[in-house]
Structure 1
């Protein structure tokens, strides 16, 4: 299963804020929504989808299993809890959110539990998030590369993750870029502002278009209708080779998400 190239992220959005964001996004034409158990907003995302008038089978819905639910005994029950909150019988994609701290739960164990969830029809596809090359290889050894729909990782103009990207490409596994706008840092970047002016676009649209043209899926979030609509226009923006090369030159290995006790040893 291919992960949609463009979707709506819900990280850090809570309560009525996330309901409004998802409802507005669906109204504007978004058809992929990304949430997670740890976001604490699955029930609100489910409510927004239920009230949207958009048929469930038109929406690609992703959630992620939190680290304390990775054991064989907890993974599937926790996913069933997520489904109840999301008001759906299945999600389209379920990811392991972060690898198990200190390998407390072996990769083999949680990947097999995730595959079992797929076999039971609780999720249509499975994947991982925040996995380095070693962890990706162990996941591949457990269930096969063809079972892994994506690895969702931090990727933006200042962090290209080139080694991981090459490994994923060679394994035939897609990458999903989160934090594509680098917490808004790209919005004032001189090179992106210049490229945006050339295309009568915005720096946000340029960053998102760069990621999609690099072969990555993106899941930007926003609480403002104007920004949600603007981000969506990135789907039709085409950057030329010169633009892509200029953005390639911005890489400085700047990682913005590196939580102690959760993050693996990055490549």
Structure 2
């Protein structure tokens, strides 16, 4: 396995974030501790969870058992839709922090904009308070479209540091990524492998064969070279390690172009404009 350190990105408030992290979406709480423990032992230092995943306690147990210093770790969690609004968000944050067993998180995200509820600007005020109070080192959003970001920025004192969105070769989000670039918002990809749906594409498999790498490693490398933060998830030790082993090769401009040609507006998850 390549031993190159995981690269970091500097967020718009000066906080550094590992560009490759470990996600625990759909991992049951009782399996989370072992999976996160394996990831930390393999070398991951960024862990991404959410209140709705129901596994913040499992993440917290793994962190406590790891013996790693707190400042070596970058922990992200997210506020669920039912807890939006100023007071509710502050209460929900306290609950997440308690489950994680931490005195602060590194990144706190609004999980979905839920536009029909029209609460995300009030929620953002609570996030700005949490940031000012030092209870999170950075604040951001997840699944926000350009229109949601425009609305938020019109009222915000703090520009989101991150927008975590579904992003993979089948859904490349070019307009959204351009918006992020203009406003200094880091792009973070969830479902970076499209739940495996892009791994059989001939463009991916041929590049993988050329580099003697797996299709998943090729797609993760594509994300990194685009500048995305990426958080693959697995509960299999070999896959957890393989997903981190993506720094010993580089895709050529022609290979990047071939993967760019796979964009087909293919969502594997909900539409942010309609989920509430």
Instruction: After TM superposition, give the deviation of residue 190 of structure 1 in Å.
Output: 1.5
Q: TM-score, normalised by structure 2?
A: 0.91
Q: Give the whole-Å Cα distance in 1 for the aligned partners of 2:29 and 2:80.
A: 20
Say whether 1:117 aligns with 2:130: yes
- For the residue of structure 1 that corresponds to 2:192, the secondary structure is coil
Q: Out of 151, 154, 161, which is 1:141 matched to?
A: 154
Instruction: After TM superposition, give the deviation of residue 42 of structure 1 in Å.
Output: 0.3
Structure 1 residue ranges without an equivalent (≥5): none
- For the residue of structure 1 that corresponds to 2:153, the secondary structure is helix
Q: Which residue of 1 aligns with 2:11?
A: none
- 1:132 and 1:265 in contact (8 A); partners too: no
Instruction: After TM superposition, give the deviation of residue 2 of structure 1 in Å.
Output: 3.8
- 2:161 and 2:184 in contact (8 A); partners too: no
Q: Which residue of 2 aligns with 1:51?
A: 65
Q: Which residue of 1 aligns with 2:121?
A: 108
Higher helix share: 1
- For the residue of structure 1 that corresponds to 2:95, the secondary structure is helix
> Superposition pairs for residues 85-96 of structure 1, below 5 Å?
85-96=99-110
Q: Which residue of 2 aligns with 1:127?
A: 140
> Superposition pairs for residues 1-267 of structure 1, below 5 Å?
1-105=15-119, 107-144=120-157, 147-258=159-270, 263-264=272-273
Q: Give the whole-Å Cα distance in 2 for the aligned partners of 1:50 and 1:121.
A: 21
- 2:115 and 2:274 in contact (8 A); partners too: no
Instruction: After TM superposition, give the deviation of residue 141 of structure 1 in Å.
Output: 2.1
Q: Give the whole-Å Cα distance in 1 for the aligned partners of 2:227 and 2:191.
A: 16
Which range moved further: 83-92 or 164-173? 164-173
Q: Give the whole-Å Cα distance in 2 for the aligned partners of 1:115 and 1:235.
A: 35
CA root-mean-square deviation: 1.5
Instruction: After TM superposition, give the deviation of residue 101 of structure 1 in Å.
Output: 4.5
Q: Give the whole-Å Cα distance in 1 for the aligned partners of 2:248 and 2:79.
A: 32
Instruction: After TM superposition, give the deviation of residue 138 of structure 1 in Å.
Output: 1.8
- 1:32 and 1:61 in contact (8 A); partners too: yes
- For the residue of structure 2 that corresponds to 1:159, the secondary structure is coil
Distance 1:265 1:101, change over 3 A: closer
